[in-house]
Amino acid sequence: MKLTYQGHSCFIFDEGGHSVIIDPFLTDNPFAKIKPGDVKVEAVLVTHGHFDHLGDSIEISKKNKAPVIAPFELVNYCIERGTTGHPMHIGGSYNFPFGRVKLTIAFHGSTTDTGAVGNPCGMLVTMGSKSVYHAGDTALFSDMALIGPVDCALVPIGDNFTMGIEDAVKAVDFIKPRLAIPMHYNTFDVIKQDPEEFRKALAGSPTEVKIVNPGQTVEV
């Protein structure tokens, strides 16, 4: 399974000829290496309604005829704006042609320009034999221990809106991923962080930390 980072919390997952994007915040994302029109995917996964996650989901979904996969209320918001969608909710999982998606809890908010759109979530995505947990925007919570172990965890470290580095290190202890990749940092001034601090704090732990540059692809 290949993960390509587009900055902030946006990744493209590729496996066995299948491609999906998660939290496609590309327009106005200073780190994104691609434009919404460049994206070729079969599904658009969205953890919550905030602009830096919902991002270009509606445009990408329409152009690719790719369903938005997200919590029920957020999918309805997208469908009202012309997309297709597959609503899910927290605790539920479903086998799609590209792989399995399970929605996990996230402690955060979920609003759009029109107000609240239900609960935010994290996503456990299994493609081929590999599992990736995208934590979304969330605080640390001890039930992360019930999500892992996974092959790879994508964890926010930016602080202010989500976990900071100290809590993200504890999150990795709970999740027990083989590989951890920090996300949701440096996009805005209030979430400036040095990801090296996160890597150093986990040196000697069973988890390898990879700091992935925008545009870079890593094999999980």
Interface region with Mn ion, contact rule CB under 5 A, candidates 52-60, 67-75, 164-172, 198-206: 52-60
- Does residue 52 bind Mn ion (CB under 5 A)? yes
CA distance 187 to 40: 24
Task: Choose the contact partner of 102 out of Mn ion, Ni ion, none; CB within 5 to 8 A by kind.
Answer: none
- Name the token pair of 137: 């925007």
Q: Which is nearer to Ni ion, 56 or 137 (CB)?
A: 137
- Name the token pair of 12: 């493209």
Minimum CB separation of residue 21 from Mn ion in Å reads 16
| Ordered strands of the 85-88 beta sheet | 85-88, 68-71, 43-45, 18-22, 11-15, 2-5, 217-219
Chain residue at closest Cβ approach to Ni ion = 50
Q: Which is nearer to Mn ion, 15 or 137 (CB)?
A: 137
- Does residue 59 bind Mn ion (CB under 5 A)? no
Give the up-direction half-sphere exposure of residue 22: CA atoms within 13 A in the CB hemisphere: 27
Q: Which is nearer to Mn ion, 52 or 59 (CB)?
A: 52
Asked if residues 87 and 71 have their Cβ atoms less than 8 Å apart, the reply is yes
Q: Which is nearer to Ni ion, 54 or 127 (CB)?
A: 54
The DSSP call for residue 17 is: T
- Name the token pair of 190: 């209030």
Minimum CB separation of residue 128 from Ni ion in Å reads 29
Task: Choose the contact partner of 130 out of Ni ion, Mn ion, none; CB within 5 to 8 A by kind.
Answer: none
Report the site for Mn ion in 126-145 (rule: CB under 5 A). 137
Minimum CB separation of residue 105 from Ni ion in Å reads 14
Residues that bind Ni ion (CB under 5 A): 50, 137
Per-residue H/E/C for 17-83: CEEEEECCCCCCCCCCCCCHHHCCCCEEECCCCCHHHHCCHHHHHHHHCCCEEEEHHHHHHHHCCCC
- Does residue 15 bind Mn ion (CB under 5 A)? no
> Which residues bind to Mn ion, rule: CB under 5 A?
52, 137
